[in-house]
Every structure is written in structure tokens, then in C-alpha cells.
């Protein structure tokens, strides 16, 4: 028996594995363009968050219809990949349906479950294509999704549809060959969904059926490997990054803004307040806030690569709803695009971060970040716990502290805060005059 098919399979698998390794290394390097941030505290709560949000899809079910369709695809992705394990073993060993003789009737039940999930994926993908291209749901038709993002979303749905048809075609032709007694092909009793399409292939010759079955088998396994590589270039990278992204979620109260420890220490020393680090030499501050991706933390950049571009954040953003330019989804896409640009420049021997461009200015504008109300609606809406507000606040901090470029009204407020300890321009000694007036009125 020729071992050529096994050698070809091994070669395809090795090439795909190498490409995937290189791509994962590239993404890891890009993510770590950001500075260090420790998010390994509260481990019990982090496990709970990851299980509920990433695995349990908890936040998806705020919109029941799309959530149910997404759940079908998600479950199918996990379960059908168990069949891919058999594909790999068959490809390496030269066998066919290697598990079937050992599992007996259980194998037929499992195959029917796989086929049911394949049909569920087909229905869900067609529904999502209709929502995007015919119904044109508002959050899926905004200007930041024009071009590649729209094509990417449609491509992934079409690829999933084709892969599911390949499974059903393979099973249908496989069973016809088993019924005809062709060597190696094993009958699996009661395959319902592929049985429905068997009449389409009954009139074909044995050779044509073998070719079609093998073509569908190879198409599916190569398609799965190509899909795994393609995902790393796509917004669908969230399939894998949702788990670490939810683990490293910001678990602090939503309204709590993170201060720069270096600035806090300086202020404390000026006020004569002793801190744990006040006796240490002051840390060198490279930049207040964030102008480019390297000023963000690695968690911020991972957030950007985890973005599903679903637009729930933008749909809930009060600034966007009232016609402002701010779109939290675009902020995340800007961070990812800038990280990609820098990464490609580094790999090609270019200037990398020193290319004369920056995240703030070349990708995201001051008008966008100044429109943010800091309400955390985007953070609450995200199904994988992405935090656009953190990035917005860091860019606003840079504009305020490095460029003194905040709007004039804001600068007046900042000055009042500095001199009067409140946003309003009156002396601190007058702060409780209203209470005295109230007491006088009550005395009357």
C-alpha cells in the first residue's frame, strides 16, 4: 500500500503548523509592544470571569436572537473539532474512520450529532449573512467596517458554510460507497442529514464517488488548517483570544480610573505625605499618557486583537448615538491596525515605532477621544470584556499633560481643580456657604 497520501498529509500538516507558529510569534511580539502590566491578582475571580464570559458566553445573551445563533456556531466549533481528531489520525495512519469499529453504535450517534451541528452552522451562517448584507443592521454597517472588515466578516461565514457542506458531502458519498461494498469504506447506520442528500450522488460511478469523497475529505482537513491560519489575520482571532482576554479583564470597579503611580508619588512628596516608595529615587517617566501603542499596556493591545468588531460598544455609546465621531469599536481597530503597521515595519527592517506616525493623530483624532463621556457603557457592552475607555483616557492624559491641548473649557476646569480643589471657581473656604444659608433659612 502506498504511503504517499500519509506523506502528503504530514507535509501539509507540518507546513500549516510552521506558518501558524510564525504568525502566533508575530502576534505575541506585537502585543508585547505595550508596557508591562500585572493582572494576575484575584485568581479565583479571574477563573470565574473566564468561565462565565468566554466559555459560557454570558454577556452575549443580552440580545437573545444573535446570541443563540452564535452559540450554535460556538458549540459546533468545539464539538466538530473532535471529528477533526479522527481526520488527523486517519491521515497519519492511512486508515478510514479509525474509531468506527471500536465505538460501534456510539459512533453513529456521534456522527449524527456532528451532522446536526453542521446543519445548525449552515442555518446560523446564512442568517448572519442576511443580517449583514440584506437587513444591514446599523451597528454592522458603520463606516469603520467598510472595505476589508466587511469582506472579512463575509468571508469567514462563507468559509464555514463551504466546510460544513464538505462534511455532509463526504459522509453521503462515503455511505454510498460502503453500501456498494467498496473496500475500506465502512457503513455507519442511520446518518440522517447526509442521508437526505445521498440521492444527489446515487447515479455516479464508483470512481467518481471515490474521487468526490476523497476530495471532500482533503478539502475539509486542508480547509480547517487554512482556517486556523486565516483566523490569525482576521477579527475572528477572538475565537482563541477571548479566553486570555477575559482572564486579564479589569476587575476593579468600573468607575475607578487608574492613576499614574509616578505622579501620585510626586504629589505625595510635595504635600509631605509619606508613602511606601517615597524614599526611593523617583521613577523616570517616559511619557505621560499614551501617544502610540508602546505607551499602552500589553493588555490594551491584546484587547485590540481580541475585538470581534461586533459593534455592541458603539451601539451603546451615548456620544456615538448623539452623532459624535467617537466609536469605541474604531478605537480598538485603530490600536490593532497601528500595532500591525509597526510589527510589519520591524519585520521588514523598517523604522518600526520611529516611522513618524503615531496612534494619536494618524489613526485616532482628538475629536474622537474628547467626545467620550467616560460612562463605561462600551466596557459593559463588550461580550469579551474589552476596555476601550482605558485607551481613550490614556490618550486624553497625553493630550492634557504633554501637549496642554485639552479644550479651553477643560483647561479652565483643571485650573480650578488645582487652585480651588473643585471644578468651580470659588474659594475652598466658601464651599459650605450653602449649608450656612440653609441653616439660616431653617432658623427663620
Q: Same structural domain for residues 275 and 163?
A: no
Q: Same structural domain for residues 281 and 423?
A: no
H helices of 94-205, in order, are 100-103, 105-133, 148-179, 192-197
- Structural domain containing residue 440: 407-444
Q: Same structural domain for residues 80 and 179?
A: yes
Q: Is residue 137 part of a domain?
A: yes
Q: Same structural domain for residues 104 and 26?
A: yes
Q: Same structural domain for residues 286 and 198?
A: no
pTM for the whole thing? 0.86
Q: Same structural domain for residues 345 and 394?
A: yes
What pLDDT, on the 0 to 100 scale, is given for residue 444? 66
CA neighbor of 100 nearest in space, from 160, 169, 174, 164: 174
Tens digit of each residue's pLDDT (9 = 90 or more) over 276-324: 654 555 555 668 889 999 999 999 999 999 999 999 999 999 999 999 9
**DSSP string spanning 352-384?**
GGGSS--HHHHTB-HHHHHT-----HHHHH-TT
Give me the number of domains the chain comprises. 3
Q: Same structural domain for residues 292 and 401?
A: yes
Q: Same structural domain for residues 377 and 423?
A: no
Q: Is residue 256 part of a domain?
A: no
Q: Is residue 292 part of a domain?
A: yes
What pLDDT, on the 0 to 100 scale, is given for residue 1? 52
Q: Is residue 163 part of a domain?
A: yes
Last residue within a domain, chosen from 190, 222, 247: 247
Q: Same structural domain for residues 320 and 427?
A: no
Tens digit of each residue's pLDDT (9 = 90 or more) over 256-285: 888 877 778 777 777 778 766 545 555 556
CA neighbor of 128 nearest in space, from 331, 329, 386, 309: 309
Q: Is residue 193 part of a domain?
A: yes
Tens digit of each residue's pLDDT (9 = 90 or more) over 365-394: 999 999 999 999 999 999 999 999 999 999
Last residue within a domain, chosen from 221, 247, 273: 247
What pLDDT, on the 0 to 100 scale, is given for residue 285? 62
Q: Same structural domain for residues 294 and 431?
A: no
Q: Is residue 388 part of a domain?
A: yes
Q: Same structural domain for residues 334 and 432?
A: no
At 278, which CATH number?
Answer: 1.10.1060
**DSSP string spanning 101-125?**
HHHTHHHHHHHHHHHHHHHHHHHHH
Q: Same structural domain for residues 330 and 438?
A: no
Amino acid at each position: 500500500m502506498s504511503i504517499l497520501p500519509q506523506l502528503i498529509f504530514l507535509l501539509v500538516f507540518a507546513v500549516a503548523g510552521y506558518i501558524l507558529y510564525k504568525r502566533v510569534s508575530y502576534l505575541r511580539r506585537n502585543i508585547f509592544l505595550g508596557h508591562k502590566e500585572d493582572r494576575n491578582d484575584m485568581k479565583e475571580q479571574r477563573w470565574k470571569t473566564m468561565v462565565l464570559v468566554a466559555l459560557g458566553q454570558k454577556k452575549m445573551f443580552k440580545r437573545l436572537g444573535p446570541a443563540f445563533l452564535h452559540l450554535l456556531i460556538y458549540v459546533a466549533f468545539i464539538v466538530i473539532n473532535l471529528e477533526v481528531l479522527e481526520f488527523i489520525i486517519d491521515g497519519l495512519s492511512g486508515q478510514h474512520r479509525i474509531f468506527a469499529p471500536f465505538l460501534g453504535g456510539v459512533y453513529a450517534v456521534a456522527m449524527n450529532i456532528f451532522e446536526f451541528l453542521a446543519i445548525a452552522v449552515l442555518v446560523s451562517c446564512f442568517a448572519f449573512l442576511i443580517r449583514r448584507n440584506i437587513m444591514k443592521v446599523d451597528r454592522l454597517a458603520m463606516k469603520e467596517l467598510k472595505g476589508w472588515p466587511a469582506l472579512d466578516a463575509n468571508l469567514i461565514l462563507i468559509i464555514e458554510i463551504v466546510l460544513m457542506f464538505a462534511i455532509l458531502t463526504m459522509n453521503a458519498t462515503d455511505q454510498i460507497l460502503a453500501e456498494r461494498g467498496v473496500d475500506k469504506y465502512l457503513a455507519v447506520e442511520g446518518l440522517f442529514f447526509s442521508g437526505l442528500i445521498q440521492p444527489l450522488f446515487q447515479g455516479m460511478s464508483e470512481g467518481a464517488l471515490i474521487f468526490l469523497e476523497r476530495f471532500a475529505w482533503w478539502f475539509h482537513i486542508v480547509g480547517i488548517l487554512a482556517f486556523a491560519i486565516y483566523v490569525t489575520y482576521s477579527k475572528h482571532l477572538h475565537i482563541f483570544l477571548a479566553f486570555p482576554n477575559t482572564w486579564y479583564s479589569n476587575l476593579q470597579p468600573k468607575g475607578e480610573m487608574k492613576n499614574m503611580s509616578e505622579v501620585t508619588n510626586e504629589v505625595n512628596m510635595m504635600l509631605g505625605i509619606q508613602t511606601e516608595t517615597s524614599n526611593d529615587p523617583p521613577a523616570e517617566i517616559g511619557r505621560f499618557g499614551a501617544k502610540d501603542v508602546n505607551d499602552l499596556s500589553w493588555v490594551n493591545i491584546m484587547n485590540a486583537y481580541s475585538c470581534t468588531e461586533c459593534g455592541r460598544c458603539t451601539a451603546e455609546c451615548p456620544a456615538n448615538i448623539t452623532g459624535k465621531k467617537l466609536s469605541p469599536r474604531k478605537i480598538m481597530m485603530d490600536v490593532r491596525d497601528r500595532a500591525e503597521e509597526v510589527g510589519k515595519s520591524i519585520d521588514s527592517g523598517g523604522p518600526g515605532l520611529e516611522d513618524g506616525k503615531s496612534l494619536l493623530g494618524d489613526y485616532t483624532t482628538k475629536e474622537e477621544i474628547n467626545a467620550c463621556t467616560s460612562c463605561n457603557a462600551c466596557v459593559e457592552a463588550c461580550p469579551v470584556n474589552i476596555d476601550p475607555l482605558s485607551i481613550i483616557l490614556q490618550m486624553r492624559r497625553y493630550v492634557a499633560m504633554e501637549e496642554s491641548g485639552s479644550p479651553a473649557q477643560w483647561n479652565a476646569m483643571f485650573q480650578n481643580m488645582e487652585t480651588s480643589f473643585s471644578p468651580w471657581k470659588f474659594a475652598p473656604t466658601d464651599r459650605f456657604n450653602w449649608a450656612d444659608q440653609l441653616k439660616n433659612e431653617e432658623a427663620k
